[in-house]
Amino acid sequence: MTLQLLTPVRLGALALKNRVVMAPLTRCRCDNAGYVPSEMMRRYYAQRAGAGLIVSEGTIVSPQARGYPFTPGIWSDEQVAGWRRVTDAVHEKGGLIVCQLWHCGRLSLPEFHGGKPPVAPSAINPNWKMFSPSGQPETVTPHALTRDEIAGVVADFRRAAANALAAGFDGAEIHSSNGYLFHQFFSRDANTRDDEYGGSHENRARFFCQVLEAVGQVMPFDRLGCRLNPMMNRFHGVNVDADTVPMWEHVVARANAYGLAYLHLSEAFMPRQLDDTPHALSDVGAHFRPLAKMPLIANGGFDRDTGEARLHAGLCDAVAYGRAWIANPDLVERFARGAPLNPPDLATFYSGGEKGYLDYATLSA
């Protein structure tokens, strides 16, 4: 019997050859001067072109958006050219790839911004330790964005989406989860504004909708997805409370209106962090599936069998895998043959260099 994971599916305008999606994975292998995708990155993504869809690592939309070292951008001509080499390599092997557009907001450090604080909806320190060439510095109190500055960030996403198409990407994904800038607008832990961007669900979703509308001016909505992680708790300075589920329900309802290619929905980022949390959802996909009017990609530490079970239960249209793709460039073939998976080498996730990046064995090697 053919695995449903191995069958084709359409997500908006994206025709996937299988339902095994490569999740966005920050790997810190980029040039740290111009944030230009490297030759290593071209080879890495090409190795994984067997995925039904590759979602690129988080790609920063402007210098202001940066939160980590060695992460790629998509605002300069050099970056566009670097990404074009990556997308060409993926397409030559029959793959599809979309660009995940990223703004870290307050999850950043002054050292990345000429000594100035990062930006956020409100001047609230997430009190988090960040990864940096200087070690693990603590975050600082961010600068609260003005209305004009918010409009500037919206324009940055519009430009990034246009550049993604110029770089040969098949579409884009808005990184609106994991405690980064969009999540900061959604969360009452990060957003205490008293203007049209704070307070009500509609107001806290306003920036998200403005970005969708701006991106839609340069990219068809059926090539655009968004990623949400409603149950991230005690991580990156945001928490699950009584308002969390209603807020994310509102976000999904608003996203429904745009005819997006997909919703990339994460299960609990760290389930143990939901212990003793009365407002937590035990199954994010089961809750939001009836509410989402667009195809759904499930993400949540699934293996082959649990991912297949999600599909058979009708809880998603495709399944995203992260660590499994890091260690298994031929993941789809391994699923098809029921072959064991290589274990990932955690020590090399962000270490730079080819070790733990390009050297995992394949079944045909």
* Catalytic residue set: 180
Rounded to whole angstroms, how far apart are CA atoms 291 and 343? 36
The CA-CA-CA angle for residues 59, 227, 84, to 5°, reads: 30
Report, in this order, helix, strand and coil percent for the chain, each rounded to 5.
Answer: 35, 15, 50
By the 8 A CB rule, do 102 and 156 touch? no
Amino acid at position 24, single letter = P
Residues 6+ apart with CB under 8 A from 356: 326, 344, 345, 347, 348, 349
Rounded to whole angstroms, how far apart are CA atoms 32 and 72? 8
DSSP string spanning 61-84? Answer: SSGGG--STT--BSSSHHHHHHHH
Helix ranges restricted to H, the chain: 39-47, 77-92, 147-166, 181-186, 201-204, 206-215, 244-256, 284-288, 304-312, 323-327, 331-337
Rounded to whole angstroms, how far apart are CA atoms 16 and 11? 7
